[in-house]
């Protein structure tokens, strides 16, 4: 038995090593992989357009991730890789649209709407304010006070 223990231990270690060996290709180069994921998170998969390039199982996405990996290994900067993708697939591939003449409406449209809404709100409040100022009676006349009291008395009676 005593002789068996080291043997068993060796066996356990050997299988552990074998597992580790199997997992190795996945994280062949962790730095490259991390950068690839960071870059492809910023990109849209063109086949299934609501998924990011990093999360998509489409074959084109796999090819493009392979391409990005190769570019990282070739020493390209993130900007160069982004340019490579935009040259081929257009700005649509980016989740963050660039600021340029065709996208001004996209970038400033919401602020424009907000400004319009604010102007409309201010105008409405001003109009409402002035209407209240003009039309609001300051106090009840004697006849009105009497009528109000009569009404209140009626309510009291019913109770």
| One-character DSSP codes across 16-57 | HHHHHHHHGGGGTTHHHHHHHHHHHTTBB-SSSTTSBTTT--
> What is the smallest separation between the CB atom of 89 and other proteins, expressed in angstroms?
5
- For other proteins, give the closer residue by CB, 46 or 72: 46
Q: Which stretch binds other proteins (CB under 8 A): 62-70, 73-81, 111-119, 145-153?
A: 62-70
Which of the ranges 8-16, 41-49, 71-79, 127-135 carries the binding residues for other proteins, by CB under 8 A?
Answer: 41-49
Residue 64 binds other proteins, judged by CB under 8 A = yes
* Beta carbons within 8 Å of 53's beta carbon, 6+ residues apart: 40, 41, 43, 44, 45, 61, 64, 65, 93
- Select 30 or 59, whichever has its Cβ closest to other proteins: 59
| Residues pairing with 52 in the sheet | 44
- Those residues whose C-beta lies under 8 Å from the C-beta of residue 55, and which sit 6 or more positions away, are 41, 45
Kindly tell me which residue out of 28, 30, 87, 157 binds other proteins, with binding defined by CB under 8 A.
Answer: 87
Does residue number 49 form part of the binding site for other proteins (CB under 8 A)? Answer: yes
Rule CB under 8 A: which residues touch other proteins?
A: 46-47, 49, 59-60, 63-64, 67, 86-92
């Amino acid at each position: 038995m005593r002789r068996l223990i080291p043997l068993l231990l060796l066996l356990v270690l050997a299988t552990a090593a074998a597992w580790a060996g199997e997992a190795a290709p996945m994280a062949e180069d962790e730095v490259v992989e991390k950068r690839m994921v960071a870059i492809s998170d910023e990109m849209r998969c063109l086949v299934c357009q609501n998924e990011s390039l990093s999360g998509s199982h489409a074959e084109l996405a796999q090819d493009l991730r392979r391409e990005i990996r190769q570019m990282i290994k070739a020493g390209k900067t993130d900007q160069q890789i982004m340019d490579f993708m935009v040259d081929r697939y257009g700005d649509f591939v980016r989740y963050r649209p660039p600021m340029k003449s065709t996208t001004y409406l996209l970038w400033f449209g919401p602020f424009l709407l907000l400004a319009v809404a604010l102007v409309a709100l201010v105008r409405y409040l001003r109009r409402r304010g002035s209407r209240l100022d003009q039309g609001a009676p300051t106090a009840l006349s004697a006849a009105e006070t009497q009528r109000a009291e009569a009404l209140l008395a009626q309510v009291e009676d019913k109770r």
